[in-house]
């Protein structure tokens, strides 16, 4: 269970009990040692993000670095145009109709994750509908979801709206209030305080 060197340093080897006896001339001293099994199960993390112009992608990569999780881009099957005005019109239609655009990406084994980060920009006062499609694909019972979002206006009420939407799509999951910020240190603090405790 444990070893002891000449200097008397005890080293744990495996779980169990041991008695270490030290003898000095005719005197004996006993020391009982209990070695406990240390089981720190690492929480498996998925960092899923939707990003059109790269802002959320950069944040997601940062979260991956901090958490050691797997990175997954939530992509719509149809390629969105890079023309902003056209895209705004397409997105407005999707949101007005509460569409669930087909997603091109899937998590290989969603069951293996305990914690899922979902990063997305605000589109028309809520989350892009594709994020909804992605979440609705899975039974997320028992999982914790942390949201990370930002937008052009940084209007908090729009983020609150997206939170309601995400909670409706993430069945069975505990969806935390998340962080709505563009400030790297605010995002890092959120991750450190809430997740890496
Ligand atoms: C289709 C579309 C709709 C948007 N709607 C909003 C909006 O309602 N409110 C807002 O503040 N920003 C809005 N934006 C701006 C994005 O939230 C912002 O540019 C964000 O930084 C993009 O993140 P990304 O680089 O990860 O795609 C919209 C952008 C697009 C393309």
Could you list the pLDDT tens digit for every one of the 197 residues in the chain? 888 888 888 888 888 888 888 888 889 888 888 877 755 456 699 999 999 999 999 999 999 999 999 999 999 999 999 999 999 999 999 999 999 999 998 888 999 999 999 999 999 999 999 999 999 999 999 999 999 999 999 999 999 999 999 999 999 999 999 999 999 999 999 998 877 65
Q: Residue of the nearest CA to atom 23 in ligand 1?
A: 121
Same domain, 22 and 72: no
Query: How many residues comprise the chain?
Result: 197
Same domain, 120 and 154: yes
Burial class (CB in 10 A: 0-12, 13-18, 19+), 41: exposed
Question: Which pLDDT score is estimated for 38?
Answer: 58
Decide: 81 in ligand 1 pocket, CB within 6 A. Answer: no
Would residue 40 count as lying in a domain? no
**Domains of the chain: total:** 2
Same domain, 142 and 168: yes
Same domain, 29 and 52: no
Would residue 18 count as lying in a domain? yes
Same domain, 59 and 88: yes
In the reported structure, the alpha carbon of residue 145 is separated from the centroid of ligand 1 by a whole-number distance in angstroms of: 22
Contact between residue 52 and residue 124 where contact means Cβ atoms under 8 Å apart = no
In the reported structure, the alpha carbon of residue 68 is separated from the centroid of ligand 1 by a whole-number distance in angstroms of: 27
Question: Which pLDDT score is estimated for 42?
Answer: 61
Residue holding tokens 């890092």?
Answer: 188
Same domain, 153 and 56: yes
Q: What is the domain range of residue 18?
A: 2-35
pTM of the model: 0.82
Same domain, 55 and 142: yes
Same domain, 154 and 177: yes
Question: Which pLDDT score is estimated for 39?
Answer: 52
Same domain, 107 and 160: yes
120 forms beta bridges with: 149
What's the rounded Cα separation, in Å, for the pair 72 and 116?
Answer: 10
Pocket test for ligand 1, best of 48, 80, 127, 152 (most atoms within 8 A of CB): 152
Q: Residue of the nearest CA to atom 29 in ligand 1?
A: 123
Pick from 27, 29, 26, 25: nearest CA to 4:
29
CATH number at residue 125: 3.40.50.360
Same domain, 85 and 173: yes
The helix (H) or strand (E) run that includes residue 28 is strand 27-35
Would residue 190 count as lying in a domain? yes
Same domain, 92 and 160: yes
Counting atoms of ligand 1 from 1, which one is nearest the CA of 87? 1
Decide: 129 in ligand 1 pocket, CB within 6 A. Answer: no
Same domain, 124 and 61: yes
Structure tokens at 33: 């040692």
Q: Do β-strands 144-150 and 179-180 pair in parallel, antiparallel, or remain unpaired?
A: parallel
Would residue 12 count as lying in a domain? yes
């Amino acid at each position: 269970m444990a070893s002891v060197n000449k200097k008397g340093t005890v080293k744990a080897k495996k779980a169990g009990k041991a008695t270490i006896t030290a003898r000095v001339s005719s005197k004996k001293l006993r020391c009982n040692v209990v070695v406990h099994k240390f089981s720190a199960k690492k929480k498996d993390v998925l960092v899923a993000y939707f990003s059109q112009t790269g802002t959320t992608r950069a944040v997601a990569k940062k979260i991956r670095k901090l958490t050691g999780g797997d990175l997954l881009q939530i992509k719509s099957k149809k390629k969105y145009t890079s023309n902003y005005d056209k895209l705004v019109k397409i997105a407005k239609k999707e949101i007005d109709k509460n569409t669930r655009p087909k997603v091109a990406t899937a998590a290989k084994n969603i069951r293996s994750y305990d914690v899922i980060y979902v990063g997305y920009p605000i589109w028309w006062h809520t989350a892009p509908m594709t994020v909804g499609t992605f979440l609705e694909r899975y039974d997320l019972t028992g999982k914790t979801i942390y949201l990370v979002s930002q937008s052009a206006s940084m209007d908090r009420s729009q983020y609150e709206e997206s939170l309601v939407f995400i909670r409706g799509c993430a069945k069975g999951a505990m969806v935390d209030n998340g962080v709505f910020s563009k400030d790297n240190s605010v995002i890092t603090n959120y991750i450190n305080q809430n997740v890496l405790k």
